[in-house]
Amino acid sequence: MAESFTERFQQLCREKNLAVTHQRLVIYREVMQMHNHPSPEQVYDRVKPELPSISLATVYKTLHTFVETGLIREVSPHHGSMRIEPNEHRHPHFLCLQCRAITDLSDHELDFAALKASVPAGFQVEHVSTEVRGICGNCLAKNAAQAPN
Amino acid sequence: MAESFTERFQQLCREKNLAVTHQRLVIYREVMQMHNHPSPEQVYDRVKPELPSISLATVYKTLHTFVETGLIREVSPHHGSMRIEPNEHRHPHFLCLQCRAITDLSDHELDFAALKASVPAGFQVEHVSTEVRGICGNCLAKNAAQAPN
DNA sequence: TGCTAAACGATAATTATTATCGTACTCTCA
DNA sequence: TGAGAGTACGATAATAATTATCGTTTAGCA
């Protein structure tokens, strides 16, 4: 028989070593139903009716926990501080999720035509950017030094 | 003969209808020499020796002016707030520079192999994302309604 | 050179996020 | 099933990033 959403969430949490709390369940359920890239504030507003006593801080902490364990993803890992691109010509970036450093990647040819074709009619395209996220060499080395196995 | 950097900057400002001020000249010159995606704070530190009385607010205002007129670009225009991606499968985003709305684009095939090949050795790739920036249909319509010509 | 509008600098205010700390809940094991 | 340990929660203070305000200064132009 089909397992319930709750059972699936409990299973997920067990895999990730997370305590199953009512707040986490509700936040996860609601986020999965919001198909428009919500901010923490918007998630808070959404769960508030069901969890009237929840704190915004809990929403932040829970979202971070989910991102860290991979239950959800962040659309933009570099908010928080504006970053300037002095370089004129088009090139992709590598963004380190640990130290936030941005590294220019050498130019390459993506299929921009196909990409632009996927933009809804009536939208005005201004710039296309590609980004690779991960952990940079520096951080990997640092991590290895700290936790040798 | 070759025109000086100052002359070129004055020319640029004239094209964009910007007053040529000493602060703007210095900020522009320094930003163009920083090849590592600086934050406003870092730009401030960099120009401070030459402009001891400059205010951090001026750096912010100047950078915004430059971004608006297209003299420089912002690496990440995601508005100061974390955004969640509930969607599991890979797809590109359209980001409206005016209202900051994020729209999912339908999936398409980019040359991810070539892109990954451009990542420096020793970096760990976690996720590749593509983003198209521009003005969404809503905002375009709104703008047209406000300023019909 | 003198006027007008825009830019600057100082600083207060706002917004987004994180830290702290006492209380409450989950999980495990007897 | 109940007690204890440890994690999570809620309230709120603190911090970081950014923006607004306002009086003074400067650039652009007649």
pLDDT, tens only, B37-66: 899 999 999 999 999 999 999 999 999 999
Cβ-based neighbour number of residue A1 at 10 Å: 3
The domain in which residue B14 lies consists of 5-69
Residue B2 scores a pLDDT above 70: no
Task: Determine the pLDDT at residue A49.
Answer: 97
Are A63 and A116 within one domain?
Answer: no
Are A13 and A57 within one domain?
Answer: yes
Task: Determine the pLDDT at residue B147.
Answer: 61
Mean pLDDT, to the nearest integer, of B64-84? Answer: 88
Q: Which of A38, A92, A134 sits opposite B126 (nearest CB)?
A: A134
**Structural domain contains residue B55:** yes
How many domains does chain B fold into? 2
**Structural domain contains residue B87:** no
Tell me whether residue A145 is exposed, middle or buried, using C-beta atoms within 10 angstroms of its C-beta: 0 to 12, 13 to 18, 19 or more. exposed
**Structural domain contains residue B13:** yes
Residue A49 vs residues A45, A53, B113, B122: alpha-carbon distances, Å: 8, 9, 46, 47
A147 touches chain B (CB under 8 A): no
In B, minimum Cα distance to A92 occurs at B115
pLDDT, tens only, B99-127: 888 888 877 666 667 777 788 888 888 88
Residue B14 scores a pLDDT above 50: yes
Are A65 and A97 within one domain?
Answer: no
Are B64 and B112 within one domain?
Answer: no
Question: Digits of tens for pLDDT over chain A (149 positions)?
Answer: 457 899 999 999 999 999 999 999 999 999 999 988 999 999 999 999 999 999 999 999 999 999 999 999 998 777 778 999 887 777 888 888 888 888 888 776 666 777 777 888 888 888 888 888 888 888 888 878 766 54
**Structural domain contains residue A87:** no
Question: What distance in Å separates the CA atoms of residue A140 and residue A59, rounded to the nearest whole number?
Answer: 30
Cβ-based neighbour number of residue A62 at 10 Å: 23
B25/C10 CA-to-C1' distance in Å? 22
Show which of B54, B69, B84 is a domain's final residue.
B69
**Structural domain contains residue B88:** no
Task: Determine the pLDDT at residue B71.
Answer: 93
Percentage of residues in chain B having pLDDT higher than 90: 44
Residue spans of alpha helices (H) in chain B: 5-16, 22-33, 40-47, 56-69, 112-117, 137-146
Q: Is A61 near strand D, with its CB below 7 A from some atom of it?
A: yes
Are B63 and B97 within one domain?
Answer: no
Are A53 and A99 within one domain?
Answer: no
In what helix (H) or strand (E) does residue A102 lie, and over which residues does it extend? Answer: strand A102-104
Instruction: Please judge whether A74 and B86 are an interchain contact, meaning their C-beta atoms are less than 8 angstroms apart.
Output: no
Are A99 and A64 within one domain?
Answer: no
**CATH number of the domain encompassing residue A16:** 1.10.10.10
Are B99 and B135 within one domain?
Answer: yes
Contacts of B5 (CB under 8 A, 6+ apart): B29
Protein residue closest via CA to C1' of D26: B21
**Structural domain contains residue B50:** yes
Are A65 and A100 within one domain?
Answer: no
A113 touches chain B (CB under 8 A): no
Q: Which of A72, A115, A140 sits opposite B85 (nearest CB)?
A: A72
Q: Please, which pLDDT band fits residue B149 given cuts at 50, 70 and 90?
A: very low
